[in-house]
Structure 1
């Protein structure tokens, strides 16, 4: 009669040869009681040498270890405080995966095209993370014309390409800015605010997304749509700015009690202007800002919508690794939810 150690080795040999076996089959083959085999199998499972599933004893397969990541080139059309956090998170993820990270700042379309050509020609490059600025529709078109089919796996950072374009057939990760608008308005509504204006930049895909969904979000929360989005930045398009009302005048004209301001920098720039006009934040006017880059350092710490910048960077690297292992799979467009960070710029008013 076999001892426990020898019996368990025989179980491993039988299961390994067959791929799987039932306890009754092992009991018959080894001439041991089923209860004895069950105890042996349980001991082997605790050691990780077999797996039990659906009445079967399965051979334990060591999970394949992901191959070390090669060189990842991050092509960035700009590096702001916002994008810096995404790029640093991507760098950490690449290094942790055993790879090498190279940042290539390409401020215009020709530079972007050269960056892709260099990456494609460099031995050991696994893929590219692409962070375009796309301040205008013309810039989108320029990049689409020049980066239509790079010969490497590519993941767009914090951008989705226009649907129907060839870049839309590439993987992408971005913050869910639409959900952020709903978070901001829901927070303000919970504090009694229904008359809310949007002051937003117009020079980025994020700004255009925020502007596009604002009225719909207001209607879904049964809030009146007071106005089209107003400009928050003095650097915005000159033609648009010429027809944009002064924010202080707009608050008075529309009877707004709160603002959603994209971005943090623009919101902070507004604070002294409101103060000079005798409008106190948050006593007279509540503000929710966007980005959470500098929202907490102003004279009034701003409640803000915080895009998941670090999560976007890390997820993009993970998606790139997945793409390398699944080159023929359909493109994935991943959105990660924003979160609202409460500070001191929102005050409750009468309901």
Structure 2
């Protein structure tokens, strides 16, 4: 089977970690790839803060180049070795990883990364690799996709031989996993912020357009239903199922058409769309069909990874991704280093998303170009992280 880019990045990181530093040309030979590919991989990983790059060489963050010759490392010498299992190193989880890396560096710890590429059946093997590499504690973000994945692919986590913290994942109430430490964004609160903001702008109950292929997507769907219940609202129609346009173009077009029909029929004038990429592509396609954002449709995206880069900058719910990584790492380090840490009660820490108001919801136009009404700014201030 052909090696994926994520797997190659993982091998590259392991090579640099073992050596302390290495030339890009040497990495290309060791990985069996062209120098151009190795250089591109290094630039990506350095941009994510997972490697330091200087004059044709790379080094493990915080470690001097001398580490390659066996000299002792100044960083990571007095803190525990931490392992991080993530489903991806890009998009949403790039910021989570960056936050974990920052907190580990502050604690003098070394962070080792494994990527599951959203294949939950491989999570256990990847975690065993982290333990074999010396991880004394684990940050676990399983590659779950479907609602049944925690039960089918997650119970092994409770039997780990070292302290572990669930990262951006919630377990079924009452399950063994639910008794573990965890740090996660409160996506239900994020959905509530979006619905309330659109209602405050004078719209009827907004529609939800969402994927169903990740824990975040499922949490946004649940949060939307809960938000409507809390506000005493009824959905104008069923949730419109979204899918990746490049992988399933016909189904994506069907979602666009359903949203278009809801707008032109007067069923809805506002929508929350998960995620940013889908939202940007939908805005473009809706414009081709004669529906303009925000004139005909006020829209809020969920994730805020690339929302600000759209032709019409998208108002977006921004989960505190980097802070999730930081807080989970701090909690894990405390468990490992505080002599009372192991005896403390387990913790479930929920961090609140914030709403970033831009053009796509129409709030700036309504307020004469300011950053939103007083109520909107209060929401943002109240939920900053």
TM-score of the aligned structures, taking structure 1 as reference length = 0.74
2:275 aligns with 263
1:144-194: per-residue Cα shift (whole Å, max 9, x none)?
Answer: 144331111111111112222222221111111111111111111111112
CA contact (8 A) 1:120 1:151 kept: no
1:295 corresponds, among 304, 307, 312, to 307
Matches within 5 A, 1:164-313: 164-234=174-244, 246-253=258-265, 255-313=267-325
Please show how residues 79-228 of structure 1 align to structure 2 within 5 Å. Answer: 79-107=89-117, 108-123=119-134, 125-228=135-238
8 Å contact from structure 2 (residues 80, 333) kept in 1: no
Q: Distance in 2 between matches of 1:253 and 1:319?
A: 51
Q: Which residues of structure 2 form unaligned runs of 5+?
A: 1-76, 367-385
Does the 8 Å contact 1:288/1:346 carry over to 2?
yes
Q: Distance in 1 between matches of 2:252 and 2:284?
A: 20
1:190 and 1:252 map into 2 onto residues whose CA distance is 22
Q: Answer with 85-94 or 113-122: which moved more.
A: 113-122
Would the aligned equivalents of 1:74 and 1:101 in 2 still touch at CA under 8 Å?
A: yes
**CA distances 1:226-247 after superposition (whole Å, capped 9, x unpaired):** 1222112246999x98996622
Partner residue, 1:56: none
Quote the Cα distance in structure 1 between the aligned partners of 2:244 and 2:306: 18
Q: Distance in 2 between matches of 1:285 and 1:256?
A: 8
Distance 1:193 1:242, change over 3 A: closer
Kept in 1: contact 2:192–2:223 (CA 8 A): no
Structure 1 residue 208: deviation in Å? Answer: 0.9
Instruction: Give deviations 1:126-161, integer Å, cap 9, x for gaps.
Output: 301111231113432332144331111111111112
Question: Is 1:329 paired with 2:344?
Answer: yes
Higher relative contact order (CA 8 A, sep 6+): 1
2:358 is the counterpart of 1:343 = yes
Aligned 8 A contact 1:306 1:339 in 2: yes
CA contact (8 A) 1:116 1:150 kept: no
Distance 1:186 1:177 in 2: 14
Aligned-pair distance for 1:122? 4.3
1: CA distance between counterparts of 2:132 and 2:279? 44
Secondary structure at 1:137 match in 2: coil
**SS, match of residue 282 in structure 1:** coil
**Normalising by structure 2, what TM-score?**
0.68
CA distance in 2, matches of 1:150, 1:237: 38
Is 1:226–1:254's contact at 8 Å kept on the other side of the alignment? no
Q: How many residues align?
A: 282
Which has the higher Rg, Structure 1 or Structure 2?
1
Hey, what's the Cα distance between the residues in 1 that align with 2:120 and 2:282? 33
Q: CA deviation at 1:96?
A: 1.3
Query: Are residues 1:320 and 2:332 paired?
Result: yes
- Asked if the contact 1:69–1:126 (Cα under 8 Å) also holds between the matched residues in 2, the reply is no
Q: Which residue of 1 aligns with 2:6?
A: none
Contact preservation (8 Å) 1:144, 1:166: no
